[in-house]
Amino acid sequence: MITQPSDKTIVLDLLRCATPERDGEICRLWTRYGQDIEVAESGSGLTMNATDKRIRFDTKTIDFCWLVGFAFWKSLEVYGPALELATGTGTTLEKALVIDEQRALYEADFKQRISIGQLLIAAQRTADISWPEDLPEPTTYFDSLQDVQDQATLDLVGMALAFTFFHELRHVMFRFENRDAPLPRDEEEMACDTWARAFMTEKAAEYARIHGREYVEVAQMRAMGIALAGAIIHAMTAPHNRWGSADYPPLSERLKAMIDGHTLAETSWFWTFAACILIALLRQQHVKLEITASTAKELVDELFNVLG
């Protein structure tokens, strides 16, 4: 008889696969805090939260992360050409977007996928929406995806999900340790983002050394996964909540904590990906991007200034 892994084991395996070099630390945290993993029944809205005793989510939220994660990977082909034109010629990003004749078609497809994500949030279950025909359904099996781009995106979505669960694990830790004197909710939220990012990146060099990989390649992949997590969080947050509240800091601050400050070289592909994500977010808000930059990294800095 084949024994199916428990929900707790599945989440634990995700975290261990995302950061193998911290396997022992993850297992010790898992044992010390003893949090349960609770899979809630799907319904309208999304579920991903934590208390001092458990992490709770629903499968529809995982489907949402998959759908939106694949959509934002496409932002590279939507906005990459205009980004290259703007940084290569000194023209404004807004003008470069207008010059790129193919952009409108790709952008319409991208926006449609994001709108399907919003329909998924409102739906009672994933089966209630029309899943994009060319989008593979959620899977953890790398070999089941035939397309190389889909395989690469699966890696990034896995990293984004790991970041989200590390974030929730830090909530468990905070609330377990500070029951009598909890942090202000917005400060705790930002601290969880910062901790999750550090946990996934600080020992990337150790993983690269042990497995014979280039450090830059590993660090870049993890940074891209964290940036993708930021885009997913933005997509799952209602527009009126993006400015922040007593419970949550402004989304712009959270995105900056996830994306900015990586020590990758200015030539790293990460900055191009991060810039395309930020362009996508600002285009959804109908913001004119009358900015110039000579590198993708400089463009990321300018886009954050516009994002606020």
Is 204 a member of any domain? yes
pLDDT confidence of residue 109: 94
Domain carrying residue 187: 7-307
The parts of the chain modelled with pLDDT lower than 50 are: 1-2
pLDDT confidence of residue 136: 85
pLDDT confidence of residue 2: 46
Query: DSSP readout, the chain?
Result: -PPPPPHHHHHHHHHHHH-GGGHHHHHHHHHHH--EEEEEPP-SS--EEE-SSEEEEEHHHHHHHHHHHHHHHTHHHHHHHHHHHHHHH---HHHHHHH-TTHHHHHHHHHHHHHHHHHHHHSSSGGGS---TTSPPP-S-GGG--SHHHHHHHHHHHHHHHHHHHHHHHHHHHHHHTSSSPPPHHHHHHHHHHHHHHHHHTTHHHHHHHHT--HHHHHHHHHHHHHHHHHHHHHHS-GGGTT--SSS--HHHHHHHHHTT----TT-HHHHHHHHHHHHHHHHTT-------SSHHHHHHHHHHHH-
Is 124 a member of any domain? yes
Is 253 a member of any domain? yes
Enter the tokens of residue 113: 């996928």
pLDDT confidence of residue 4: 61
pLDDT tens per residue, range 216-229? 999 999 999 999 99
pLDDT tens per residue, range 266-290? 999 999 999 999 999 999 999 999 9
Is 16 a member of any domain? yes
Is 169 a member of any domain? yes
- Split into its structural domains, the chain has a count of 1
Is 1 a member of any domain? no
- Please name the amino acid found at residue 124: Q
Is 2 a member of any domain? no
Q: How far apart are CA 135 and CA 31, in angstroms?
A: 37
Is 294 a member of any domain? yes
Q: How far apart are CA 115 and CA 152, in angstroms?
A: 23
